[in-house]
Amino acid sequence: MEDRKRPFDQVELEQFQPSKKPLETLSDSGPLTQQDVVYFKKEAIWRQMRYYKLQVSELTRELSKYEKRFQTYVAVHLLLEAWYRQVIRVCGNQKPRPLDLAGSADEIGAILDERRDTLAKLLKPLVAANEDADADLLDAVKLEAEKQLAEQLKSLLEDQLLTLQTKLQTLQKVENRKESATLKRMQDGAQVKKEEPSSASNGDKNGSLTKEAKAGQEAASSAEKEELEKMKIEYEQLKAGYTSIETQFKDVNLKLAEAEKSNNDLEARLNSLTDADLAKCSRHVSLVDHNKSLTESLAQVNKLKDELVEKLRETEEKDGNLRKRVNKELEDENHQLRENLSKTEADLVRIRTARDELLGKQNILKQEIENKKTNEEVTKLNVVLNDRLKKLEESRQNEYKVDDVANLELLEKLELIQRLQILSGEVKDIEKAFQDTRNILLEKLKETVDHEGLVKKLSIEKSKADQKYFASMRLKDSLVSENKILKTQVAKSQELVVKLNELEKGYLSKIDLLTKSVNDLRMIKEGSIHETAKLQENLKHLGKAREVASREAHQLKTDISELKKEKSDLASELKTRKIAESKLEAKLRATENLLLKYKLNNTSSILQEDEKQLEALRSITKCSVCSKHWKNTVITACGHVFCDGCVQERLAARLRRCPTCNKGFSSNDLLSIHL
């Protein structure tokens, strides 16, 4: 089932504007027709819509007023927050707790109490110092109290204005009903129907009493008309009184606006004070003295800073000179040590070369001496061997001479020859053996000589290696001693460098502290200058505002007294209006009683006609679906009126069609009316 609801954005604004042409035509005479009933319904809807439009205009006006008040409250809140933070920052050097208007009432109350206590703590010494300003503060407090009373009076008058506006709306609704053509038409028809049967019945039965009844009715109608005229006159009087009260209320609002404007002017003037006013203020004098003391202390600090800078410069120069001198001494000593080391190394090389030459000569001489000894021994051995050979030859010759001569003589010639041959062979063998042994001996001698030479060479090389080893060990010892000396010198230089670094770090830390202190002092100086300028400006504004406040305080008091008088006058006028309203209500009750008496005095025929008319009216005003409840809900899509129960039942049953014209509607097309 498609949704037939119309969104609110599609409703044209022309529907809420007053129509320039009449809704329908209304019959002038005769019984009420269906068109008259439709006209009656449409006019009732139209009156209700006008009433709604009037309420909407009132609500929009109230909404705009409350929006303006909310904006002013927000601006005042921000101004007070900024003022409070500035006061706390200047006096207490604390971070205030933020105030969140979206929080609960208890939290806001706790924050306000805390702020009140902090302000009291901060402002008590200032108030004790400024005893001259107590009178001005009391005047300001009194003015604030009177302002609050005026605001309360304004709120009361606004409430009374709202009640009067509601009464005016009801009166406008009654006036619209009185000006309605359908209601007049129905009242005229009812009066005609009442008069016709009464005149007919009385004309048939009592012809003599018709004139008296007509006269009584005319008298009653004339009395009612007089009462109605009086009520209209009193209504106009009430309306005029309401307009006068409204004008007075507007005047009161204007005066309150002027008072607020004057208060704002006072605050603006308070922010611009003169030098004379500042000179009268003890707080300003104390601040000026404090500023002077701060400037003097700042000058002393600047002087101390200059002295410290000079000392720092001198220490830096001394440190630089000391570093240069130490570095120069270290470089000179290092250069001298290097020169000594190079000289000692050259002497060591020279001594080593000379030592090696001498050792070589010594070894050569030793070898020569040893060679001489071996040669002498060999020659001695050869001499000994030759002597022994000679001795052996001589002994053999002697033996041969002595023994062999006798034996040879005894022997024969052949035997001698054989023996000679044998001896010659033995001699050859002996010579050969001697030569062999001699050769072997000579070879052995050569080998021993070579071996001795090799041993000598090896011993010479060993002695050279030992000398080189001992020389290298001596060199190592000298180098170790030199290394130890250099290490001690390097350690001393490192200790000196560490000391210099520590001195440099100490100087740098002192420089950092001095720079930080200088920056802090500069910031303190700038902050004090800024604060003194702000305080001077604030004091100027306060002095000017105090003068303006003292001048305008009397004017505000007079305005408040006038407002009080006007309040009393308005209260008396309201009392008189209430009395007049009570009188009018009494008159209205009397007229209603007269009408009831008039209705009771009528005949039964008139009552029957009235009942018929009432039935006809009930059929018009009661729901055509259930014929039980009054018509109070109209379908704006077609204009037909039913009771709310039947319409809601049809919506619940999803029968979204008008029972009369079968036109579709939705819950957005319903409008409640009052017949």
Sign (positive or negative) of CA dihedral 228, 229, 235, 238: negative
> Would you say 154 and 564 are in contact if contact means Cβ atoms under 8 Å apart?
no
Pairing mode, if any, of strands 641-642 and 670-672? Answer: unpaired
Cα–Cα distance list, 383 to 373, 379, 390, 440 (Å):
15, 6, 10, 18
Q: How far is CA 503 from the centre of its chain?
A: 45
Asked if the model's pLDDT at residue 568 lies above 50, the reply is: yes
Q: Cα–Cα distance between 162 and 594 in angstroms, integer? A: 34
Report the pLDDT value the prediction gives residue 324, as an integer from 0 to 100.
Answer: 81
Q: List the one residue out of 168, 292, 286 whose CA is nearest residue 539.
A: 286
Predicted confidence (pLDDT) per residue in 326-338, tens digit? 778 878 877 887 7
Q: Report which secondary-structure segment, H or E, holds 537.
A: helix 413-601
Asked if the model's pLDDT at residue 17 lies above 50, the reply is: no
Average pLDDT value for residue range 222-236:
60
Report the pLDDT value the prediction gives residue 187, as an integer from 0 to 100.
Answer: 59
Predicted confidence (pLDDT) per residue in 75-129, tens digit? 877 887 778 777 777 766 666 677 776 677 778 778 778 877 777 777 666 655 5
pLDDT tier for residue 646 given thresholds of 50, 70 and 90: very high
Say if domain 622-675 classifies as CATH 3.20.180.10: no
pLDDT tier for residue 320 given thresholds of 50, 70 and 90: confident
pLDDT tier for residue 473 given thresholds of 50, 70 and 90: confident
Average pLDDT value for residue range 272-289:
64
Report the pLDDT value the prediction gives residue 3, as an integer from 0 to 100.
Answer: 45
User: Which residue matches tokens 């008091």?
Assistant: 557
Report the pLDDT value the prediction gives residue 243, as an integer from 0 to 100.
Answer: 63
Q: Report which secondary-structure segment, H or E, holds 595.
A: helix 413-601
pLDDT tier for residue 210 given thresholds of 50, 70 and 90: very low
Give alpha helix (H) positions in 400-412.
405-410
DSSP-based three-state secondary structure for 28 = coil
Report the pLDDT value the prediction gives residue 289, as an integer from 0 to 100.
Answer: 74
Edge-to-edge strands of the sheet including 633-635?
A: 641-642, 633-635, 670-672
Identity of the amino acid at 267: E
Report the pLDDT value the prediction gives residue 265, as an integer from 0 to 100.
Answer: 65
> Would you say 168 and 284 are in contact if contact means Cβ atoms under 8 Å apart?
no
Report the pLDDT value the prediction gives residue 105, as an integer from 0 to 100.
Answer: 74
Asked if the model's pLDDT at residue 130 lies above 60, the reply is: no
Average pLDDT value for residue range 580-600:
67
pLDDT tier for residue 2 given thresholds of 50, 70 and 90: very low
pLDDT tier for residue 271 given thresholds of 50, 70 and 90: low
Contacts of 480 (CB under 8 A, 6+ apart): none
Q: Cα–Cα distance between 241 and 248 in angstroms, integer? A: 10
Asked if the model's pLDDT at residue 199 lies above 50, the reply is: no
Average pLDDT value for residue range 313-337:
79
Report the pLDDT value the prediction gives residue 420, as an integer from 0 to 100.
Answer: 77
Asked if the model's pLDDT at residue 615 lies above 70, the reply is: yes
Average pLDDT value for residue range 460-481:
78
- Between 103 and 44, name the one with better pLDDT: 44
Per-chain mean pLDDT for the chain: 71
Q: What percent of the chain has pLDDT over 70?
A: 61
Phi/psi of residue 27, each to 5°?
-70, 145
What are 520's two structure tokens? 């802090």
Asked if the model's pLDDT at residue 223 lies above 70, the reply is: no
pLDDT tier for residue 8 given thresholds of 50, 70 and 90: very low
Report the pLDDT value the prediction gives residue 518, as an integer from 0 to 100.
Answer: 77
Asked if the model's pLDDT at residue 141 lies above 70, the reply is: no
Which part of the chain has CATH 3.30.40.10? Answer: 622-675
- Most confident region among 65-69, 116-120, 142-146 by mean pLDDT: 65-69
Q: Report which secondary-structure segment, H or E, holds 635.
A: strand 633-635
pTM above 0.75, yes or no: no
Average pLDDT value for residue range 621-625:
86
Predicted confidence (pLDDT) per residue in 507-562, tens digit? 788 788 878 877 777 787 777 777 777 777 776 766 676 676 666 666 767 777 77
Asked if the model's pLDDT at residue 288 lies above 60, the reply is: yes
- Between 197 and 115, name the one with better pLDDT: 115
Predicted confidence (pLDDT) per residue in 377-420, tens digit? 777 777 777 777 777 777 766 655 555 555 656 656 777 778 77
Asked if the model's pLDDT at residue 287 lies above 80, the reply is: no
Average pLDDT value for residue range 481-487:
81
Asked if the model's pLDDT at residue 475 lies above 70, the reply is: yes
